[in-house]
Amino acid sequence: VVSITVLDLIYFIPLVIIYPFFILLLKGFLGKTVVLGANDNLSATAVAVAIGKHLSENRPRNVEVWIGSQGSEEVGDKGAKAFVEKYGKIGILDNSYTVVLECCGAAEDMFLIEKDMHRAVYNTEINNWLLQAHADVKTKNPDLLNIRTGSLKIGSCDACRYIHEGFKAAALMGMEHIKNKAVNWHSVNDAPVNIDKKILSDFLEVSLKFVELVDNKFN
């Protein structure tokens, strides 16, 4: 005799609904095909290098800019965790703004995270600076990707490690237009052939304008 109680249904019904989504998510992590992660997140590393090159030749007057690629994001943001633990303790991050770049080579929109799955609330001050930077660049470059804000129910980025330790951080990401999901996210299509140089340039322009605005703030 099989006895089903109300308590069984409370556990079973959500499981039936969630299970297909879990399998779909897991599919993006498993397989024999080696994926280079061109958009997620080598593209952002490329933009970061370009930012560093430009600023080394056109140094800000009032702010110091650190450029880094911290690694191990997919296994719990371990690179960012180590960085924050090391430099947070000695006070270097106390008056800093951190902007994490994500998926900058294939996108339909730019996206600013407001809150992620780890309940990290992203800094509104930095988000507002980035929105202003985008607006300024857009006036000169009408073809610039549009920008929007929103929350991530699934996913986060290195910025959450800064936020949970009380530091100001934000993330500028490339997203699909309708869903809060990166283009070719955890897909075999995340390859160099699907990287768009124009989109890389868009993220570079907004990033450099952000640095310029913050630098001018301290004139």
The total number of structural domains in the chain stands at: 1
- The whole-number pLDDT of residue 17 equals 76
**pLDDT of 188 above 80:** yes
The average pLDDT across 177-187 equals 89
Per residue in 206-218, pLDDT tens? 999 999 999 999 9
Kindly report the pTM of this predicted structure. 0.86
List the 147-151 sheet strands across, edge first: 97-102, 168-175, 109-115, 147-151
Q: Is residue 149 part of a domain?
A: yes
- Here the CATH number for the domain that contains residue 202 is 3.40.630.10
Lowest mean per-residue pLDDT among 10-14, 64-68, 137-141: 10-14
Per residue in 72-125, pLDDT tens? 676 667 889 999 999 999 999 999 999 999 999 999 999 999 999 888 999 999
Print the domain residue range for 162. Answer: 33-217
- The whole-number pLDDT of residue 25 equals 66
Q: Is residue 50 part of a domain?
A: yes
Taking residue 127's Cβ as centre, other Cβ atoms within 10 Å add up to 18
Q: Is residue 1 part of a domain?
A: no
Cα-Cα-Cα-Cα dihedral sign, residues 180, 44, 66, 84 = positive
Q: Is residue 46 part of a domain?
A: yes
- The whole-number pLDDT of residue 93 equals 96
- The whole-number pLDDT of residue 9 equals 64
Q: Which long-range contacts (CB under 8 A, 24 or more apart) does 53-56 make?
A: 54/204, 54/208, 55/208, 55/211
Q: Is residue 83 part of a domain?
A: yes
**45's tokens:** 């590393």
Q: Is residue 19 part of a domain?
A: no
Q: Is 92 left (phi over 0), alpha (psi -120 to 50) or beta?
A: alpha
Q: Is residue 53 part of a domain?
A: yes
The average pLDDT across 37-65 equals 96
Q: Is residue 134 part of a domain?
A: yes
